[in-house]
Chain A
Amino acid sequence: MTASTPVAHEHHVVGPKIYLTILVALLVLTATTTGAAFINMGVFSPIVALGIACLKAVLVILFFMHIRYSSKVMMLTVGAGFFTFLVLITMTLSDYISRNWGLW
């Protein structure tokens, strides 16, 4: 094993128990988000909805897509993807949000 060879990942086999647990969690979260839509939370409604969606996505990515058991490079890669997406959204929205602020 030389300096450049990446640490070989033991091929971690994720078992049905974990998958089942995540499935149940995801279904519960789905029911929760649907239910929450009927509650008036004002400005928090979209935050809750997106928060639950993010949680579900994280569960899928970590366990169904095995990132929990993958190398740091993989985690960084996924992070880079979402980071770039966030840059697109936030920096574009920053233009639209600040348009109403007037000329200085």
Chain B
Amino acid sequence: MSTIVTLPDQQDARLPKLSYLNSEYGLKSWLLTGDHKRIAMLYLISITFFFFVGGAFAGLIRLELLTPLPDLVASDTYNKLFTMHGVIMIFLFLVPSVPATVGNFVIPIMVGAKDLAFPKINLLSWYLYVAGACFLVFALLNGGVDTGWTFTTPLSTHYLNTHVITAAMGVFIAGFSSIFTGLNFIVTIHRMRCPGMTWFRLPLFCWSHYAASILMVLGTPVLAITLVLVMLERTIGIGVFDPTKGGDPLLFQHLFWFYSHPAVYIMILPGMGVISEVISTFSRKRVFGYTAVAFSSVAIAVFGFFVWAHHMFIMGVSNYSALVFSLLTMLVAVPSAIKIFNWAATLYKGSITFETPMLYAFGFMGLFTIGGLTGVFLGSLGMDIHLTETYFIVAHFHFVMVGGMLMAYLSGVHFWWPKMTGRMYPESMSQLAAVTTFIGFILTFFPQFIVGYLGMPRRYHAYPPEFQVLNVLSTAGASVLGIGYLLPMLYMPWSLKYGKIAGSNPWQATGLEWQIQSPPLTENFVDIPIMDHEAYDYDWLAHKTEHEVTTVG
């Protein structure tokens, strides 16, 4: 199979003498760093850890669902399993996944700056993430939370004895981590661009992160105050969400989903940014319709604020309100679709090669499209009445979040791994992992669309026996999926020591980050660059590398 990978001659290749990894030694130099690249690495380690914790919960859920009877765990325990799975996967994995790891690492370099606008706030973000995670681990180890990740009132405020407040505190703190990351990105992209780097020369990765950051900054605080109200309601019991005291439980849901819907765009937009970069690089073609993709990213962010009550159609909102939100939901699907069309058009007549990041990107294109289209089904009021709170919803969001976002995350980590570490991972292993993941994913989640459509409710650990076959298929798929996710845990660390030396631009990609050494210097650039060409300018790259000898460091 052809490949565009171009590595330096491995006989004499060495990693650069000086890079951000060896510029300083010692634990303190990592824990008190201001270097965005080191902070990205800190995040990478923490996020990976929590991904597997969340994954373990998923494994237990699927184990229980092998049989129709509630025979593995007690009901309360099962509630705790899916709650912790959701809370950890969303707040400790998906929300920070691409922005905090790849975004932190690459955005300053992409805009031509020496660091993010606020390096200390960046470090604070990581500590807030860890603090929030500690609260959640504490809640977990002390019996868990069983409210569902949605903390719906009045269940969470009045009817449970579990550690709701601790968990809410954890999410509250982790939310501020997200806010500060977004704040940093917005200011960096506005103010730290190098000379010549106009908005429309930025890689689309930056546009996606800019849009996601707007959502982080404006949406997350509403979640924060909502959790504060839940905590106050639990402790003092004022009645703000209590019907018996005149409160309205739906007020909680309005405030909660006002954040949590934009949250799904916070999660997916950075992944879409990765896909733009990867699809362009591995088809050797500029992204089709740069402006459309850029504006679509911002449009998704803006419209994302107008649709939250589509999570509440059966909860008691007025019919008129439901109608308006349903119509607006149809609207928000359009920019996402525009992006898919543009990526497909990028592929058309491109020189496509199938390196691992591209395999994940293809997975994204297909699976996100299916997930997104089923989202449109759910946005129609009539359909939603029947499909909501069933496994159809579970399948929908796993298609977009796991089939979409997680694949995009893996694509991004593989794509920028050579830049972050200076090493290549073993290609055949990684391609195997990508294919395994894809197959495992479809086997796990496609049956869930069917079983949900047939009526199996979500968040139940017992179900009518006629659904067992589909559930068994789903669990079987989950095992395959698990293997697919575990494989990178084996070969990525392996590559740190034994992987081929990557050189600065193994993918022959455009973008400022590929013009500097791998791994980069602490200050990224010796002199601030001057940007004189458009994004995805492969002609410029060809011209530049015409007479060049590939050296390292």
Question: Do A and B originate from a single complex?
Answer: yes
Whether the pair B195, A88 counts as a contact (CB closer than 8 A) is no
The verdict on B198 contacting chain A, using a C-beta distance below 8 Å, is yes
The verdict on A7 contacting chain B, using a C-beta distance below 8 Å, is no
Whether the pair A94, B324 counts as a contact (CB closer than 8 A) is yes
Query: How many contacts A-B (CB < 8 Å)?
Result: 53
Q: How many residues of B contact A (CB 8 A)?
A: 28
User: DSSP majority for the B interface?
Assistant: helix
A4 vs B321: C-alpha distance in the bound complex, in angstroms?
43
Whether the pair A4, B193 counts as a contact (CB closer than 8 A) is yes
Whether the pair A91, B196 counts as a contact (CB closer than 8 A) is no
User: C-beta contact mask, B186-220 vs A, less than 8 Å → 1, else 0?
Assistant: 00001101111111000000000000001000100
The verdict on B319 contacting chain A, using a C-beta distance below 8 Å, is yes
Q: Which chain B residue shows the least CB distance to A88?
A: B258
Instruction: Pick 9 A–B contacts, CB within 8 A, sort by A.
Output: A2-B195, A6-B191, A80-B214, A80-B218, A84-B305, A88-B258, A94-B320, A95-B250, A95-B317
Chain B contacts to A: CB under 8 angstroms:
190-191, 193-199, 214, 218, 222, 250-251, 254-255, 258, 305-306, 309, 317-321, 324, 530-531
The verdict on A28 contacting chain B, using a C-beta distance below 8 Å, is no
Whether the pair A3, B196 counts as a contact (CB closer than 8 A) is yes
User: DSSP majority for the A interface?
Assistant: helix
Whether the pair B318, A4 counts as a contact (CB closer than 8 A) is no
Whether the pair A92, B254 counts as a contact (CB closer than 8 A) is yes
> Considering the complex, which residues of chain A in the window 45-104 have a beta carbon less than 8 Å from any beta carbon of chain B?
73, 80-81, 84, 87-88, 91-92, 94-96, 98-99, 101, 103-104
> How far in angstroms is the closest Cβ of chain B from A8?
12
Q: How many residues of A contact B (CB 8 A)?
A: 21
A101 vs B323: C-alpha distance in the bound complex, in angstroms?
14
Which of A87, A92, A95 is most buried by chain B, counting CB atoms within 10 A of its CB?
A: A95
Whether the pair B318, A95 counts as a contact (CB closer than 8 A) is yes
The verdict on A34 contacting chain B, using a C-beta distance below 8 Å, is no
Whether the pair B198, A3 counts as a contact (CB closer than 8 A) is yes
Q: Which chain A residue shows the least CB distance to B192?
A: A4
Chain B residues lying within 8 Å of A80, measured Cβ to Cβ, are 214, 218
A104 vs B214: C-alpha distance in the bound complex, in angstroms?
37
Whether the pair A95, B198 counts as a contact (CB closer than 8 A) is no
Q: Which of B191, B195, B254 contacts A95 (CB 8 A)?
A: B254
CB-CB under 8 A for A104 and B319, given A4-B197, A6-B191: yes
Q: Which of A73, A84, A98, A101 contacts B190 (CB 8 A)?
A: A73
Whether the pair A94, B321 counts as a contact (CB closer than 8 A) is yes
Whether the pair B196, A4 counts as a contact (CB closer than 8 A) is yes
Whether the pair A101, B320 counts as a contact (CB closer than 8 A) is yes
A-B residue pairs, 7 tightest by C-beta: A95-B321, A2-B195, A98-B318, A98-B320, A99-B318, A92-B254, A84-B218
